[in-house]
Amino acid sequence: MLLILGAMGKQGEGLCKAVLEYNAGGPKESRSVGDLAGKWKRKTAAIASVAHPGFDVVAMTRFTQSDMASEVKRKGVRIIRGDFRNQDSVQRAVRKTRATLVWFMTDFWGAAKQDHEIEAQQGRWVVDACAEEGSLVKFVVYSSICDCDVCDSPEFVAKLKVEEHLAASRVKYAVLRPVMLLDTYANHQNPLTKGILRGHVRPDVSCKYIAAYDLGRAALKLLMNPSWYHGEVISAATLKLKGSELAEAMFAASGAKTEYAYVMDGCFGNFCCCLLPEATSETLQFVNNVGFSARKKAFTMKYLGNKCLSAVEFFRQFRMFELPERVLFPRIQLEVESKLLESFREARSKQKEVEEARKVMLKFRKKADRSAKAGNW
């Protein structure tokens, strides 16, 4: 039994997708345990084709009625209501599901409300709940953040505290430290409608990324082989791209010419930067000035069988990045907009004429009233 805590976030969604895909019969490379590192590789060559029987999955979320929850429920995932902000809720989820494997992450921006002490406490609750059910819980995977032991941002500090508490517990565990998620660009605002992809990374900086789906595949591999990965702390990255390269990937996926725009550029951007929360400001400074230390080639080869989503493949899987009509047919869009503008102007001019006629009528009435009072009417 696999319990996914925080299943409706981007990372939890990526793991659900990877597990369901595995249960359905793929991808094949996740079924192999023969590509383990170091001196054990030769010894494990003989068992390279050993297959895992599959997973019964339980997902804990606050949003049991969301579209994502309904979708994974239809595919066989059991959904239970739970809340990271409540210790009893977390303990109940671990105890009642009788899970043997647990994956979790902590949410600095949502559940913890940008308080690193609250985030660290919520992570400790999960670890303690798993430790209390030690006879059942055999392995825990925690999704942290890359270089949390280097950067002093509150978000990074909180996740490091959870890692330390996990390491000090009796629970067998592994930690994944992802870099920036490609899914950051998969929001509800479709940049193709304006031909601009906005990001917080400077255009001249090559930032490391990973798709939540690939992160889920890596987590799946750890969960399948607890004895091999116990105690490992793994930095996870698959791509290294500049903003212009991201824009080119979106262009290749959609066919609409796209440019990358740094949201903190210019006077207004600098002003907005001053208003950002401390955690955001420190994180962006680290990403832009220092950069993540994860080794993408080593990670991809060892944990993903040297196969990962490219930026183009990533953008193609989202409907929101399909080419909308107003980008596909700019001339038609221009004509429609000009006609709408013309109609608006005509309506506005008519409205002005009506208003002027009304003023004349009121003026006439006032004059008539004055004449009536004077007896001249």
What is the helix (H) or strand (E) element at residue 209, kind and residue range? strand 207-210
Per-residue model confidence (pLDDT) at position 55: 86
Residues with Cβ within 8 Å of residue 371, at least 6 apart in sequence: 377
By DSSP bridging, strand 207-210 and strand 239-241 are antiparallel
Tell me the three state secondary structure of residue 287.
helix
Nearest Cα residue to 287 out of 158, 151, 149, 186:
151
377 residues of the chain, pLDDT tens digit each: 899 998 888 899 899 999 999 988 765 444 433 343 343 333 333 333 344 567 889 999 888 888 888 888 888 889 998 888 888 999 999 999 999 999 999 988 787 777 889 899 999 999 999 999 878 899 999 999 999 999 988 889 999 999 999 999 989 999 999 999 998 887 655 566 667 888 889 999 999 999 999 999 999 999 999 999 999 999 999 999 999 999 999 888 878 788 888 887 765 555 555 656 667 778 888 999 999 999 999 999 999 998 999 999 998 886 555 555 444 444 444 455 556 666 666 776 777 777 787 788 788 777 777 777 776 55
The Cβ-side half-sphere exposure at 222, using a 13 Å CA radius, reads 30
CA–CA separation, 158 and 254 (whole Å) = 38
pTM of the model: 0.77
Q: Decide: 214 and 14 in contact? Cβ < 8 Å.
A: yes
